[in-house]
Structure 1
Amino acid sequence: MTDKLKVALITEWHPFDVVNFQELFRAYDDIDAYPQAWDIFAQDVSRDSYDALVFYNMSFPAPPEDDPRRRYLEGRFGNTGQGIVLLHHAILSYETWPFWDAVSGTKDRRFTYHGEQELRCRVADNQHPITRGLDDFTVVDESYAMAEPAEDNEVLLTTDHPRSLRAIAWTRTYRDSRVFCYQSGHDDTTWRNPSFRTMLHRGIRWTAGRLH
């Protein structure tokens, strides 16, 4: 397939199943994904060449003033029009830094987590390109009990599970970039779920301006 999306997969600190995570992205025949450490990406001279950035980092604390990650975030980040995807624990990064509040659309990211929960996900907006035509589905995943995203987000998926925040997926705009936040995605149990794969695929394409 020609004209593939070029996607950076950005990771830091949190351990994960590297092999199956990469297999997840290899299954998308219209995406070329490039896994890399967050500090390496922040210093890459070609970082603006990606169509979308998928953050799968869990970074603490806020980087110091002279850190390349902070210089990039407070400078170029969001001003290039590149898509931004915050996947699973990336939403929790920089827990007390207002900058990441603005990116993620959350104001309070203190949390508790619960592994292997059966989450019934309900489509909250069936007109959005990411969820259009998608049925409600169930996924086994790690859940986060935390405050809901702010009111200036568009919520796409919800759950009523007592050990989870209600919003599972939402979109927003940060500077000149579309942002897709998806609370799901802990491990291969989730990654193999067809509906999860559809949501993530569409979310990446939507942030990159390829899905309307």
Structure 2
Amino acid sequence: MALKTAVITGGHHLDVPAFYRMCRALPGVDAYVQHLADFVASPPEVRQAYAVLVFYTHLKGELNPDELGLAPGRRDTVRSVLDSLGSRAQGIVVLHHSLLAFPGWDVWDAVVGMADRTLTDYTHGQPVPYHVADAEHPICAGLPDDWTMTDETYLMPDAAGDNHILLTTDHPRSMRTLAWTRLHRESRVFCLQGGDDPRAWDDPHYRTLLVQGIRWCGRKDSF
């Protein structure tokens, strides 16, 4: 059975047809693309029915209903909904600019596993070499040890501490760690720095990573 997955956007422009095309093509994933405001406005039982939440947001200060344009009758705020992440075994995938969302908020720091998420530079359209750091992990299954993908680089601190590093790079304008897993309370979390535009979304290795990351977070470690 396909994993029911919420793909949560907002705060950053994207190529809508290409993004939806990628989400619809992920095998074993039943993707529901929605803005964070719509996710928050959904009843709790709807939010909880997703096996995995994929965040592709770049929202910064929108932590209350007014800033997201939610109806006055909606009592759940972005802050309370995201603060509840990890209270149940619902997988969490954090993609690309979602690493930078809600700067300075300790809850999102804990989800991502980075106390310092300060971005000092970024560069579009870079040939990024990927190196597999843990070939035994289910998310890396079937990937070559090394490959190159065109994407946007982030120069920012590396993931460290209790994060389990899966992919690294030696690109001089990028953070070294590109993908990692962690536990946030009861949730499995997969963070992937890549994924800026269709050049990454259409890369077969990126799609493999995303599918296997979603499956691992949803506790479906093998096909």
Q: What TM-score bracket applies, with the shorter chain setting the length?
A: over 0.9
| Mean Cα deviation higher: 136-145 or 53-62 | 53-62
Residues of 2 paired with 1:162 and 1:131: CA distance?
23
Partner of 1:80: 88
Contact map agreement 1:107 1:149 (CA 8 A) in 2: no
Counterparts of 1:157-172 in structure 2, within 5 Å, are 157-172=167-182
Task: Determine whether 1:110 maps to 2:108.
Answer: no
**What is the count of residue pairs matched by the alignment?**
209
Partner of 1:156: 166
Partner of 1:188: 198
Residues of 1 paired with 2:21 and 2:211: CA distance?
13
Deviation string, structure 1 residues 47-71 (Cα, Å, up to 9, x no partner): 1000100000001126259861111
Residues of 1 paired with 2:219 and 2:98: CA distance?
21
Residues of 2 paired with 1:180 and 1:137: CA distance?
20
Residues of 1 paired with 2:41 and 2:62: CA distance?
17
Overall identity of the aligned pairs, in %: 44
Partner of 1:63: 63
Residues of 1 paired with 2:62 and 2:181: CA distance?
23
Deviation string, structure 1 residues 135-183 (Cα, Å, up to 9, x no partner): 1211000010000113110000000000000001000000100000000
Among 97, 100, 104, the residue aligned to 2:105: 97
Partner of 2:54: 54
Among 7, 10, 32, the residue aligned to 2:8: 10
Residues of 2 paired with 1:29 and 1:172: CA distance?
24
1:168 aligns to what SS in structure 2?
strand
TM-score scaled to structure 1, two decimals?
A: 0.94
Partner of 1:132: 141
Structure 1's unaligned 5+ residue stretches are none
Amino acid at match of 2:194: S
Contact map agreement 1:62 1:97 (CA 8 A) in 2: no
Residues of 2 paired with 1:131 and 1:181: CA distance?
13
Contact map agreement 2:94 2:190 (CA 8 A) in 1: yes
2:139 aligns to what SS in structure 1?
coil
Residues of 2 paired with 1:148 and 1:162: CA distance?
13
Deviation string, structure 1 residues 84-141 (Cα, Å, up to 9, x no partner): 0001001110111111110001111111211001110000011111113321211000
Structure 2's unaligned 5+ residue stretches are 66-74
TM-score scaled to structure 2, two decimals?
A: 0.90
Deviation string, structure 1 residues 18-37 (Cα, Å, up to 9, x no partner): 11111111112311111111
Amino acid at match of 2:125: E
